[in-house]
Structure 1
Amino acid sequence: MADDFHKPTLFGGREFEAFPGSFVDPAVSRRIAHDTARGLVARVRDSDDPEVLDRVVRFTDEHGLDAVAELWAMSGPNTLPGALWRIYLLRTMIRQDPDGVALLFQRGTETLVTIDPVIAGAPSPAGPEEVLELSDRILRGVFDGDLAHALERASAFCRVEASGAASIADDQEGAAPERSTELTTRAARLTTVAEELAVCARLARDDALE
């Protein structure tokens, strides 16, 4: 994977298709991505108005994921704009299919032997409402909490989802091979995003996430 222009296509739906950038000069595009990411985080953290945070969290609900993609999708995975892009992707995934996400998450909590379910922060059992709430809490944490902790939670969430997807894929391999393949692909992509967010979390801990 190219670090400079890694743009994940996570889950095979219209919400996770590649969004072409509108800037011809990659250097200009990268600079704008970094400036807008830093500026947005700083503005929310410096604001005393809770509505500012609410508007940022709801931004893709009102304007669509492509609005965020235009800013950050072409950024490297181990950058602040790249991390924000992945967090918004995950929130969109959860909001568009909370039942399916909850099913995978619950299976993941049953198959993983790590503390990732605890780090992710969802209750067990976690239904659609719980994973929806979790997606909002993770995104809010990026802007008004501990950035590294929010990224660690998102990374853990991806690992739980990946484990659940892989487990259900194994169950369906004989009866529904196409569905099994789709879930296996999803598990692999979620694992990649989990690793990328984990790197971002470590960088954020060191104040080195730019």
Structure 2
Amino acid sequence: MPAPFHRPVRLPPETFDNLLGSHDPAERTRMAHATASALLARVRADDSGVSAERLVAYAKEHGIDEVAELWAKSPAVSLPGALWRLYLLQASIHGDPATAALLHERGRIELPSADALVAGAPVPAGPDELVALIDTILRGAFSGDFSVALERAAAFCRVQASGSTHLADDYEPTEPHRSSDLTARASRLSAFAHDLAASAGAWRTGSLN
């Protein structure tokens, strides 16, 4: 079993101190982009795949707080912003795979598009299958075609958003609070889908920084 991946990028210690302690938004943005670029370059240079596996497992083992410190405040359409959304999506699926499976199945049925096929989940997809899918998408971002991974993640979000919207409609007459929660979730997922798709397009044109 690979050792825990404590520091994603080999940068001087003072670099991380400046990043985590800085109140200068411009400096935080610069460091977020630097760490994301260095991390992606390092992992892609590792042909063994070990680094990619460590990064897929990182948030599961250590929580998402450290990732948030690095990238959560980055622009939505940016390299660190895209990585943050992938990690947040992974955390949400691992945190409640049963609900994710419910939303995915409803969205797959209701959504008149090829998004479910693009995302790549089996039919039917239970909780374990969705956990495996989101890990595969994240792994693909680090070791495969980055734009394809982002497109798959965007499609996954659209399916989940569709499921959330339709379930919210179902619950509205009897459980309005639950309906509101599902509506809010659908809105967040739709925003993620938009941001990830835009980041995929920017990556393909070489403008995702």
Amino acid at match of 2:25: P
- 1:152-182 per-residue CA deviation (whole Å, 9 max, x = no partner) reads 0000000000000000111111111110110
Whole-Å Cα distance in 1 between the matches of residues 21 and 107 of structure 2?
38
CA contact (8 A) 1:22 1:70 kept: no
Q: 1:53 aligned to 2:38?
A: no
CA contact (8 A) 2:97 2:130 kept: yes
Whole-Å Cα distance in 2 between the matches of residues 135 and 23 of structure 1?
32
Q: Give the corresponding residue for 2:130.
A: 131
1:1-210 to 2 correspondences below 5 Å: 22-210=21-209
Structure 1, unpaired ranges of 5+? 1-20
Secondary structure in structure 2 of the residue aligned to 1:58 = helix
Amino acid at match of 2:196: L
Normalising by structure 1, we get a TM-score of: 0.88
Task: Please say which of residues 148-157 and 52-61 is displaced more in the overlay.
Answer: 52-61
Q: CA deviation at 1:124?
A: 1.3
Normalising by structure 2, we get a TM-score of: 0.89
Whole-Å Cα distance in 2 between the matches of residues 48 and 23 of structure 1?
35
Whole-Å Cα distance in 2 between the matches of residues 52 and 79 of structure 1?
22
Secondary structure in structure 2 of the residue aligned to 1:114 = coil
Secondary structure in structure 1 of the residue aligned to 2:208 = coil
Amino acid at match of 1:44: V
CA contact (8 A) 2:71 2:80 kept: yes
Q: CA deviation at 1:64?
A: 1.1
Q: CA deviation at 1:48?
A: 2.6
CA contact (8 A) 2:49 2:143 kept: no
Secondary structure in structure 2 of the residue aligned to 1:49 = coil
- 1:6-52 per-residue CA deviation (whole Å, 9 max, x = no partner) reads xxxxxxxxxxxxxxx64211111011100100011110100133221
Whole-Å Cα distance in 2 between the matches of residues 67 and 44 of structure 1?
18
Could you say what the CA RMSD is over the residues aligned between the two structures, in angstroms?
0.9
Q: Give the corresponding residue for 1:13.
A: none
Secondary structure in structure 1 of the residue aligned to 2:173 = coil
- 1:43-72 per-residue CA deviation (whole Å, 9 max, x = no partner) reads 010013322111111111122111000000
Percent of residue pairs bearing the same amino acid type: 51
Identify which of structures 1 and 2 has the higher relative contact order when contacts are C-alpha pairs closer than 8 Å and 6+ apart: 1
Aligned length, in residue pairs: 190
CA contact (8 A) 1:102 1:128 kept: yes
Whole-Å Cα distance in 2 between the matches of residues 114 and 129 of structure 1?
24
